[in-house]
Each structure stands twice: as C-alpha cells, then as structure tokens.
C-alpha cells in the first residue's frame, strides 16, 4: 500500500454543516427576495440534495413543480443564474457573520495533515466563490494545494470528474489519497475514482448508504469538544471519540 500523500475534502456537510441551516435557508431567502411563494422545508431539501449543485437543484425542482415553463432554455439558464447569485450573496453573508461554524475536528485533522506534509485539496460541487470565502476566512491557517469547485467541472458528483481532476492536479495515484465525504453521491464519486473514503455523517446523510466508505463516523471529533460515534472502521483503528490522521494512516500499512 502506498504512503498517504494527499487528503481530498468535500465542503458542504464535511467542513461546515451547511445544508439544512445554510444553503437551504439562503435559497428560501432568495426565493422570498424575488417574490416567489414556494419554500423548501427540511424534508423537501433533503430530497433535492440527491441532485448535486445549486442551479441544478433549482432546475430539478422547477421541472418537478411545473414552474417557469414559459421560459426558453436560454432564459431558464439566465434565470437560474440570477437567483443563484442572490442565494450565494446571502450564503456568503452567513459565513462572514459566523452563523455556520466548522464541524468538530475538521481544522484539527487538516492541521495534522499539514504537520505530516500531506497535501490538502478541496473538492466541492459548490461555487468557487463559496469555497474561497470559507478557505480564506474560517480556514485561513490551512494551506490548500488545490481548491476545485463545481464550476470547474462539466459533470458533478456522483460523477468522479472532480476527484479525477484532483488526482491529475496532484499527480498522485488513488491509493496515495484519502477522501473525506458526507453523502452517498459524494462517496460514490470518490469510489468511482478509485479512492478510499472517510464518511462523516450529518442529519441529512446518516441514513444514506455510505457502506463503500472504509470509515464511517458522525464527526472527526475534538478532545475538548464534540466527539464522534463510529459506525464502521477497520479492526486495527484506534478510536476513542476522536479520529486522528495518524491512526487512519496506520490502517493503510
């Protein structure tokens, strides 16, 4: 087994628990701004999360509900972009005000990677602007080798394109990298690229089929904060509420 040389992190649901109280709220505020009378509750948004990408999510919802059928394809694309730009503006304001904290253990795990001279890459279906806001503010101490966002690929998760791009950028073989994901479509994308996955679950993904991940834990955990609950791991993983990178790497040797 090759030595681990890189960690690839998803963002939404992994770095920040953004979906329920972040993106969903921002979408609803954007809809209200444009005078629309529809609203995504938690259950509906969970269903929509099976579609990767914000604009794609709106497109799927509008099609299911028969909304904006009078628009041509070009007009629909422009409309989706306009609404999504407003949603992004609202979401970024939420990040700036600290309304969405980092998930337990995420910064610690990244710092451990830096200390071990392991590359850190962000691989998200979110917009590049969203990714940059989080990496430049909440994770400004972390040195990212590459930041890959949804607008850099033509096919979003569960397609493996973004993880194949990360492999190409780093010049590494799949067995030298580990992915940290939270959802079934993210795990599917990573495994399709031949990568091993740590799945950190949240309220939206804890009941999804993440079985192809080699570790499944509720969060990475912190010694002086919330700790994780392990639901799948190799037999030789030493875990007591906190998932340490050094212990994960031992499982590959």
Residue tagged active-site, from 3, 12, 115, 136:
12
Active site residue 10: yes
12 is a catalytic site residue: yes
The separation between the first and the last C-alpha atoms of the chain, rounded to the nearest angstrom, is: 6
Residue 80 near residue 57 (C-beta atoms within 8 A): no
The residues carrying an active-site annotation are 10, 12
């Amino acid at each position: 087994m090759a030595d681990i040389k890189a960690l690839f992190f998803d963002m939404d649901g992994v770095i920040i628990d953004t979906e329920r109280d972040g993106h969903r709220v921002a979408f609803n505020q954007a809809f209200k701004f444009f005078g629309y009378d529809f609203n995504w509750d938690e259950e509906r948004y969970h269903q929509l999360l099976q579609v990767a990408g914000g604009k794609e999510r709106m497109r799927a919802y509008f099609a299911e509900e028969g909304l904006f059928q009078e628009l041509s394809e070009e007009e629909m694309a422009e409309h989706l972009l306009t609404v999504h730009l407003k949603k992004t503006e609202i979401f970024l304001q939420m990040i700036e005000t600290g309304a969405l904290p980092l998930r337990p253990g995420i910064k610690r795990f990244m710092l451990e990677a830096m200390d071990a001279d392991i590359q850190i890459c962000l691989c998200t279906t979110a917009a590049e602007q969203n990714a940059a806001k989080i990496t430049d503010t909440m994770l400004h101490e972390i040195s990212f080798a590459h930041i890959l966002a949804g607008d850099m690929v033509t096919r979003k998760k569960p397609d493996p394109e973004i993880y194949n791009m990360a492999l190409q950028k780093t010049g590494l073989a799949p067995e030298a990298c580990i992915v940290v994901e939270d959802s079934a479509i993210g795990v599917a994308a990573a495994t399709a690229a031949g990568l091993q996955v740590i799945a950190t679950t949240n309220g939206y993904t804890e009941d999804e089929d993440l079985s192809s991940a080699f570790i499944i834990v509720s969060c990475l955990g912190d010694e002086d904060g919330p700790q994780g609950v392990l639901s799948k791991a190799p037999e030789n993983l030493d875990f007591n509420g906190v998932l340490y990178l050094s212990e994960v790497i031992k499982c590959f040797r």
